[in-house]
């Protein structure tokens, strides 16, 4: 379990860079979609438009718009899922908490430690009675 945790820790630290790249790509794609819409004047008929890309037909604009309409939700959902993945710092805290609880639980339930604790308590009680007399 600990080895998988160390591997995931290394993997999640590289997701920060991927999140930044995807966020930039999402904004560029949205801006491209808006520019494409303005170049075709948001019209989807069969005549040619002398837009900002020269002879840009509305069919080309329509195909580009369809592509953007399909790609933008996919890219935004991937970016969202990467954004909710915990950071390396949070993953370290979660792992430390889990392993700390596991260690404390193991120490409390260990039979030898219970016996040692009983011996210490009995000795302390014995010493307290001797001091009181």
Q: Where in the chain are the domains?
A: 1-85, 87-133
Which residues make Cβ contacts (< 8 Å) with residue 55, sequence separation at least 6?
A: 48
The beta strand positions in 46-116, using DSSP E, are: 48-51, 54-57
Would you put residue 54 in left (φ > 0), alpha (ψ -120 to 50) or beta? Answer: left
Tell whether pTM > 0.75: no
CB-based contact 39:56 (threshold 8 Å): yes
Residue segments in the chain with a per-residue pLDDT below the cut of 70: 1, 40-65, 107-109
Give the pLDDT score at 46: 44
Short-list 86, 65, 68, CA closest to 76:
68
Name 56's bridge partners: 49
- Cα(18)–Cα(16) distance, rounded to whole angstroms? 5
Four-residue CA torsion sign, 51, 53, 58, 61? negative
CB 65 within 8 A of CB 33: yes
What SS3 state is found at 49?
A: strand
């Amino acid at each position: 379990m600990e080895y998988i945790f160390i591997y995931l820790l290394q993997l999640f630290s590289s997701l920060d860079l991927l999140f930044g790249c995807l966020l930039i790509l999402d904004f560029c794609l949205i801006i491209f979609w808006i520019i494409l819409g303005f170049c075709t004047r948001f019209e989807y008929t069969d005549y040619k438009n002398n837009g900002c890309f020269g002879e840009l037909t509305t069919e080309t604009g329509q195909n580009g718009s369809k592509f953007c309409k399909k790609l933008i939700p996919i890219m935004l959902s991937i970016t969202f899922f990467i954004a909710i993945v915990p950071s390396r710092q949070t993953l370290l805290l979660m792992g430390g908490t889990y392993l700390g609880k596991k260690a404390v639980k193991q120490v409390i339930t260990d039979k030898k430690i219970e016996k040692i604790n009983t011996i210490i308590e009995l000795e302390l009680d014995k010493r307290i009675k001797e001091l009181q007399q």
